[in-house]
Structures are given as structure tokens and as C-alpha cells.
């Protein structure tokens, strides 16, 4: 059973639709028992970090997520909340990954201006052989919508560039996070979701 964590963050329906296209019927819930007993958990989200963390804490879901031992995939805001801290409203996050989340720059190194949020397709460089990217080309394209991004660090397994280098995907133990939206990333995103659904994490 695949469970999607329900909280006050948008974009959940598109994740449900993407899984349905793969023949997977997911359960959307904020019930700790159902989340804890799932074979795999998806933690999606589009929204603002501090209000999302407040919602999780008020319902005890922050501790539920920290205690999960099955494969977990955080998407966009769900990935950012795995970090130790976000600059967005000075928000302490779940602390699963040591990296911090910072606002994207509005100016490129060459001095050109950048639009924030970063919206659109971008290439991703991943650690060769990582099972999340199995079967994908060397620099696959994924769709991004975000103003904040996790810094590169020890848990980074893929990176992208937008004004500066940032973590496009991270992994710590059974927790995986992707900053892009696989559910909106056509064939590459579909392959990545398939890979997550079959990954074995010890």
C-alpha cells in the first residue's frame, strides 16, 4: 500500500493522478496508524514552510514522519521539510537531513536577473548508479516550481543550477526528497516514480 500524507499543502491531486496512471491506488490520509503501516509513503506539497510545519506539529505528524522506517519520498515542499531549517519565515523543519533550505538568488553569477520562483524545466545531474534515476539519461529534464531550495550537502544525490547550485534530490537512509515535480515531468517523472515504487532500502 502506498500512502500519501495529507496536510495543508497543495498539489496532492496531481500526485494521486500520476500514481493512478501507473496503476497504483494510493491512500490519502493524516492517520498516524495508516501512515505507519504503509509499504511506502509519499510526502508531497506546494506551500509555505512555517504553516506546513505548524500543521504537522499540531497533529503529531512531525514525530510520525521522523519515525517512519519504510521508503519515504518527499516532493517539493515535502523535500524541504526534511531539512534542519528553512529560511522561509525562519522555520525549524524535521531535521531528517542536515542541509538547510535557502531562498533562491534573484541574480545569476554573470549579473543577469533571475525570476523567483523558479518555474519550468531544468536538467538534473545525479550520482551515477543511484536507483532513483535508473533508466534515465545522464542529465534528465524535470519540472520545477519553487522559490527555496536545499543546499548541497552530504545527503545530496542529484543537483541542479538556478543562480546557484542546489540539491535536486537527497537521500538519508529510507528518506528520499526531490525538489522537482515528478508528477509533472512527463516520461522522466513517470520513470522516477516507478523507480521509487520498486526501490529496496535497507
Q: Which of 48, 88, 99, 183 is catalytic?
A: 183
pLDDT per residue as tens digits for the range 70-129: 999 999 999 999 999 999 999 999 999 999 999 999 988 888 899 999 999 999 999 999
pLDDT per residue as tens digits for the range 158-186: 999 999 999 999 999 999 999 999 999 99
| Domain locations in the chain as residue ranges | 2-198
Work out whether the CA dihedral 131, 137, 138, 143 comes out positive or negative.
negative
User: Is 183 labeled as catalytic in the residue annotation?
Assistant: yes
**In angstroms, rounded to a whole number, what is the distance separating the alpha carbons of residues 181 and 9?**
14
Q: Which of 118, 146, 155, 181 is catalytic?
A: 181
Q: Which of 76, 99, 118, 155 is catalytic?
A: 76
User: Is 76 labeled as catalytic in the residue annotation?
Assistant: yes
Cβ contact 148:99 at 8 Å: no
- Tell me which fold the domain 2-198 belongs to: Rossmann fold (3.40.50)
User: Is 87 labeled as catalytic in the residue annotation?
Assistant: no
Confidence band, pLDDT 50/70/90 cuts, at residue 202: low
Amino acid at each position: 500500500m502506498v500512502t500519501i500524507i495529507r496536510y495543508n499543502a497543495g498539489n496532492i491531486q496531481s500526485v494521486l493522478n500520476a500514481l493512478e496512471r501507473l496503476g497504483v491506488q494510493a491512500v490519502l490520509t493524516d492517520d498516524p496508524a495508516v501512515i505507519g503501516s504503509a509499504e511506502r509513503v509519499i510526502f508531497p506539497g506546494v506551500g509555505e514552510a512555517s504553516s506546513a510545519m505548524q500543521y504537522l506539529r499540531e497533529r503529531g505528524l512531525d514525530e510520525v514522519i521522523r519515525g517512519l522506517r519504510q521508503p519515504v519520498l518527499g516532493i517539493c515542499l515535502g523535500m524541504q521539510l526534511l531539512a534542519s531549517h528553512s529560511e522561509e519565515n525562519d522555520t525549524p523543519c524535521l531535521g531528517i537531513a542536515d542541509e538547510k533550505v535557502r531562498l533562491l538568488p534573484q541574480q545569476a553569477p554573470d549579473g543577469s536577473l533571475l525570476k523567483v520562483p523558479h518555474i519550468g524545466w531544468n536538467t538534473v545531474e545525479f550520482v551515477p548508479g543511484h536507483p532513483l534515476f535508473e533508466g534515465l539519461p545522464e542529465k534528465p529534464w524535470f519540472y520545477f516550481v519553487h522559490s527555496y531550495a536545499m543546499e548541497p550537502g552530504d545527503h545530496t544525490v542529484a543537483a541542479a543550477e538556478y543562480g546557484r547550485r542546489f540539491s535536486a534530490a537527497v537521500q538519508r537512509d529510507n528518506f528520499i526528497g526531490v525538489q522537482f515535480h515528478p508528477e509533472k515531468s512527463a516520461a522522466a517523472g513517470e520513470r522516477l516514480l516507478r523507480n521509487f515504487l520498486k526501490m529496496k532500502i535497507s
